[in-house]
């Protein structure tokens, strides 16, 4: 998309004082090799990689700069890239997203941070009526490559508005990609894929997994969309520059554990739970295949259906309430696609249809190993 801009990027006539500008490239550690990282740090380095590769990428949100974010996911980025690429915004989510839409239309690739899942609703109008619709409304002439990072889910001892799972509200809205990584390696890859995508992406981060560790391959870099093009200049067309490997992370589910008796479908924070369930079931002689959805919109039905055709049974688990949840869509599609292969109804396990409880009761609300194993036993009992 060819754009014009009145504001130069950092280092090209910027009015930001030199003390707040970016450090030299030599001052930052190289992003190479396999490192063992926390989930949060993997996202940090994914953001950093994208910002190094494409000067149009900028990060904005409440306390993302000097503080480094509530969960320190953006820690160090402002010191490296400057205040005009890592922007501390006012406490106004509608303003953050509205500004990001304007920046995207001018050629930038903004990444917004929403501090907690429950804080996204002041921006719900901008996301669902503007961001999601602009490409369609313009008959494809406009792209709005905005990424909105949303820490979501429970497990941190917080309360309502800090522990909820609103992902299905956005997955229901046409025009948005809704994705969620489940481990550090996926987080590092998927945040770069989201930034490279020409589509608006809701990037849900399971905050209860921020401190989980895993091996992450930091190289080679994923190609960025229009890499090294300055804001206001026309780089390669988004549909030409989009990396095939990266787009796969935003389009496809993955089988993370093979099995023969039952398919356990999970995403985000519940993938780790599903793997624990599979281990426990294996000790009792039940072989469970675990599928990580990764993307809720679009939903990769073929991967899930292929698994269910092999196993004949399916259980879907997520932290969000079961009623009208994303598991209902998975169950409906699998029932349609795999009716003659099913040996039991598709069962769902999730949160209850109630406001998120106080911290000392969240272990009763969230689907744990025992509740999921109970559903597995019921499915195997048919």
Q: pLDDT, tens digit, for every residue of 247-280?
A: 567 999 999 999 999 999 999 999 999 999 999 9
The enclosing domain of 272 has a CATH number of: 3.40.50.920
Report the pLDDT averaged over residues 285-304: 97
Which residue bears the tokens 């409440």?
62
The enclosing domain of 55 has a CATH number of: 3.40.50.970
* Confidence (pTM): 0.87
The model's confidence at residue 15, banded by pLDDT at 50, 70 and 90, is very low
Nearest to 168 by CA among 283, 379, 289, 326: 326
Q: Does residue 235 sit within a domain?
A: yes
Domain total of the chain: 2
**Residue 77 and residue 363: Cα distance in Å, rounded?**
35
Q: In whole angstroms, how far apart are CA 87 and each of 192, 235, 255?
A: 19, 24, 38
What average pLDDT does the chain have?
A: 87
Task: Give me the domain span that covers residue 277.
Answer: 254-380
The answer on pLDDT for 232 being more than 80 is no
**Residue 298 and residue 331: Cα distance in Å, rounded?**
15
Same domain flag for 196 and 62: yes
**Residue at a domain's end among 223, 249, 275:** 249
**Residue 226 and residue 235: Cα distance in Å, rounded?**
5
Report the pLDDT averaged over residues 219-236: 47
Residue 90 dihedral angles phi and psi, to the nearest 5°: -65, 165
Residue 37 forms beta bridges with which residues?
A: 214
Same domain flag for 212 and 113: yes
Same domain flag for 314 and 365: yes
Nearest to 41 by CA among 89, 73, 88, 17: 73
**Residue at a domain's end among 249, 270, 301:** 249
Nearest to 43 by CA among 179, 209, 238, 192: 192
Contacts of 47 (CB under 8 A, 6+ apart): 59, 73, 74, 77, 111, 191, 195
Question: What would the two tokens of residue 195 be?
Answer: 């930034």
**Residue 151 and residue 39: Cα distance in Å, rounded?**
12
Q: Does residue 224 sit within a domain?
A: yes
pLDDT at position 313, please?
98
pLDDT at position 221, please?
61
Report the pLDDT averaged over residues 178-183: 97
Q: Does residue 9 sit within a domain?
A: no
Same domain flag for 179 and 222: yes
Is residue 133 classed as helix, strand or coil in its secondary structure?
coil
- The answer to whether 346 and 328 are in contact (CB under 8 A) is no
Percent of the chain with pLDDT over 70: 85
Percent of the chain with pLDDT over 90: 82
Annotated catalytic residue, options 162, 318, 353, 363: 162
**Residue 381 and residue 86: Cα distance in Å, rounded?**
54
Handedness of CA 97, 102, 105, 109 (dihedral sign): negative
pLDDT at position 1, please?
32
The model's confidence at residue 5, banded by pLDDT at 50, 70 and 90, is very low
The answer on pLDDT for 134 being more than 60 is yes
Contacts of 157 (CB under 8 A, 6+ apart): 359, 362
Nearest to 199 by CA among 251, 100, 132: 132
Question: What would the two tokens of residue 57 be?
Answer: 């990428």
Nearest to 53 by CA among 18, 81, 72, 20: 81
**Residue 128 and residue 243: Cα distance in Å, rounded?**
26
pLDDT at position 33, please?
87
Q: Does residue 84 sit within a domain?
A: yes
pLDDT of 91-119, one tens digit each? 999 999 999 999 999 999 999 999 999 99
Nearest to 182 by CA among 155, 204, 150: 204
pLDDT at position 29, please?
57
The answer on pLDDT for 286 being more than 90 is yes
Q: In whole angstroms, how far apart are CA 31 and each of 46, 133, 144, 338, 356?
A: 9, 36, 28, 44, 39
Catalytic annotation present for 228: no
Which residue bears the tokens 């988004």?
238
Nearest to 98 by CA among 162, 90, 193: 90
Same domain flag for 115 and 133: yes
* Consecutive H or E run containing 80: helix 77-81
Nearest to 22 by CA among 83, 72, 65: 83
Q: How many CB atoms lie within 10 A of CB 311?
A: 21
The answer on pLDDT for 235 being more than 50 is no
Report the pLDDT averaged over residues 177-200: 96
**Residue 333 and residue 348: Cα distance in Å, rounded?**
13
């Amino acid at each position: 998309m060819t754009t014009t801009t009145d504001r130069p990027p950092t280092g090209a006539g910027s009015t930001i004082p030199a003390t707040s500008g970016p450090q030299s490239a030599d001052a930052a550690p190289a992003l190479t090799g396999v490192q063992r990282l926390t989930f949060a740090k993997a996202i940090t380095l994914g953001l950093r990689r994208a910002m190094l590769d494409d000067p149009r990428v900028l990060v904005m949100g409440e306390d993302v700069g000097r503080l480094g974010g509530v969960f320190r996911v953006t820690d160090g980025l402002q010191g490296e890239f400057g205040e005009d690429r890592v922007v501390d915004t006012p406490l106004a989510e509608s303003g953050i997203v509205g500004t990001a839409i304007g920046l995207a239309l001018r050629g930038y690739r903004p990444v917004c941070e929403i501090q907690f899942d429950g804080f996204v609703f002041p921006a719900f109008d901008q996301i669902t009526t503007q961001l999601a619709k602009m490409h369609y409304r313009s008959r494809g002439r406009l792209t709005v490559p905005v990424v909105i990072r949303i820490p979501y889910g429970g497990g941190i001892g917080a309360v309502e508005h800090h522990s909820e799972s609103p992902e299905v509200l956005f997955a229901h809205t046409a025009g948005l990609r809704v994705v969620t990584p489940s481990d550090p390696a996926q987080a590092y890859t998927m945040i770069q894929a989201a930034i490279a995508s020409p589509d608006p992406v809701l990037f849900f981060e399971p905050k209860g997994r921020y401190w989980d560790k895993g091996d992450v391959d930091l190289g080679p870099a994923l190609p960025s969309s229009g890499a090294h093009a300055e804001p206001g200049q026309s780089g390669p067309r988004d549909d030409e520059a989009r990396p095939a490997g990266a787009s796969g992370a935003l389009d496809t589910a993955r089988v993370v554990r093979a099995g023969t008796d039952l398919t356990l479908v999970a995403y985000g924070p519940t993938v780790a739970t599903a793997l624990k369930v599979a281990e426990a079931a294996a000790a009792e002689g039940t072989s469970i295949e675990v599928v990580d959805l990764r993307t809720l919109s679009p939903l990769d039905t073929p991967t899930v259906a292929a698994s269910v055709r092999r196993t004949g049974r399916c259980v879907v688990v997520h932290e969000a309430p079961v009623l009208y949840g994303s598991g209902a869509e998975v169950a409906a599609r699998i029932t349609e696609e795999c009716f003659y292969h099913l040996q039991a109804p598709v069962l769902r396990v999730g949160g209850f249809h109630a406001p998120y409880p106080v911290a000392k009761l969240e272990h009763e609300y969230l689907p744990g190993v025992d509740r999921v194993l109970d559903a597995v036993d019921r499915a195997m009992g048919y």
